[in-house]
Amino acid sequence: MTLKTLLLGSATAFAVVGGAQAADLSVAEPVDYVRICDAFGTGYWYIPGTDTCLAIHGSVEFKVNFHNLSVTDPGPDPLPIDDHSSNWDFVTSAGLNFTAKSMTEYGELAGYIGLAGDYDNTKSTDIHGDNYWLSLGWLKVGHFASTFDSGGGYADSVYRSDTATDQVQLSWAMSGFGLAVGIEDPRDRWGTNLPATFNVPDVVAQATLSQGDFSASGSAGFAQLAIGGVYGVQGNLTIKLDSIAAGDAIRFGGAFGTGASFVGGGTNGATNWSAYATFQHFFTSTLSTAWSFGYLWNGGPAVGSWQGGANLVWAAAPGFTAKIQGQYVVTGAGPGVWSGRAALKREF
């Protein structure tokens, strides 16, 4: 037997044995890699094995609050004050949000879970549900910002309705115009102001318009309290001022009604009104300031209240901001209450 014949025979034997062993091996399943989903904006990816897109966002914020020594909370105040003997405190807050979306023959199907928690040296709050809702096409149900609410101050210091409720909402939008109608659980807005037995939900509606350099909204609401029926109406107008600097804007807003929560303060059953103006300016793309001023007329004891505030925000890096802000509140002829805050925030 020649060397060539021996080598060819050996190669054939190895091929037969290798083929038999390969036949005994199970076929590996293909790897289902996570795929980017761009149908609903950035940050979404497909949940493997489904056509549902998921996005996860969150934030961590550390705040140092300053305020008048051992004072009580003056009321509508975006800088919460606890009664204690110190004029400062630390607060750490965190939030985690999950949004799932997919398309159906009835329109977009979405679900949202928002978790939040904080620790402020006087009480420890575990992570709890903040907002959570689901929507299909025009229908949205769950716990989220009231259909009545809109606007707000760039520096927070304004009197306005700011309430999350359990609700059923129908909304429609086209060509910059939007309309929403909500049926809301009144316990979330009015608490102990309701009758012992109540059957009438809060009925609210809002219209919005956005065209070019301006946007506007108007809303109305009705509620049945222990004292009888109350109502509120409010409106907001925002004007972009990109001609001054990119991102600059000014906003005006006001409310009128007999329901204190609709107006942002006052006395239920009396005629209350509030108004505010707020301005935001960007020195650079990463450094901005904002100023707000709000006034409230309490229709009960007829006492006027006003508050003013300002902030300075530095977007030091993508997803990271450093902010300082202050506020001053005066109610009637009482002494002014000041408060301030320095904060670092990471969003992802």
Given a cut of 90, whether residue 2 has pLDDT beyond it is: no
Average pLDDT over residues 283-307: 92
Collapsed DSSP state (helix, strand, coil) of residue 191 = helix
- Characterize 321-337 residue by residue with b for buried, 16 or more Cβ atoms within 10 angstroms of its Cβ, and e for exposed: bebebbbbbbbeeeeeb
Residue 159 and residue 278: Cα distance in Å, rounded?
12
Within a domain: residue 223?
A: yes
Q: Give the domain range for residue 159.
A: 138-285+294-302
Average pLDDT of the residues of the chain: 87
Q: Which pLDDT belongs to residue 26?
A: 54
Predicted confidence at residue 30, as pLDDT, reads 58
Amino acid in the structure at residue 152: G
The tally of domains found in the chain comes to: 1
Residue 49 lies in a domain: no
Judged against a pLDDT cut of 90, whether residue 218 lies above it is answered with yes
Residue 31 has a pLDDT of 58
Q: Of 120-134, 148-162, 302-316, which range is least confident?
A: 120-134
pLDDT of residue 10: 45
Lowest mean pLDDT among 280-284, 326-330, 343-347: 326-330
Q: Is residue 43 in some structural domain?
A: no
pLDDT at residue 94 greater than cutoff 80: yes
Q: Examine the pLDDT at 274 and tell me if it is beyond 80.
A: yes
- Structural domain contains residue 38: no
In a domain, 224, yes or no: yes
- 186 pLDDT more than 50: yes
Q: Residues 138-162: pLDDT tens digits?
A: 999 999 999 999 888 999 889 999 9
State pLDDT tens for residues 32-88: 678 999 999 999 999 998 999 999 999 999 999 887 754 444 444 444 444 455 678
Which pLDDT belongs to residue 6? Answer: 40
> From CA 230, how far away is CA 307, in angstroms rounded?
25
Residues facing residue 255 across a β-bridge:
234, 274
State mean pLDDT over 9-34.
51
Joined tokens for residue 344? 């670092």
Lowest model confidence (mean pLDDT) among 116-120, 282-286, 307-311: 116-120
Structure tokens at 114: 């928002």
Q: For residue 47, what are its two tokens?
A: 């949940």
Report yes or no on 218 lying in a domain: yes
Question: For residue 333, is it within any domain?
Answer: no
Lowest mean pLDDT among 233-237, 255-259, 333-337: 333-337
In a domain, residue 197? The reply is yes
Output the pTM of the full model.
0.83
Quick one: 245 exposed, middle or buried, by C-beta within 10 A (0-12, 13-18, 19+)?
middle
Which residues 6+ apart lie within 8 Å of 303 measured at CB? 331, 332
Task: Tell me the CA distances in angstroms from 110 to 48, 102, 138, 163, one per residue in order.
Answer: 17, 7, 11, 22
Strands 249-257 and 272-282: antiparallel
Higher pLDDT, 224 or 88: 224
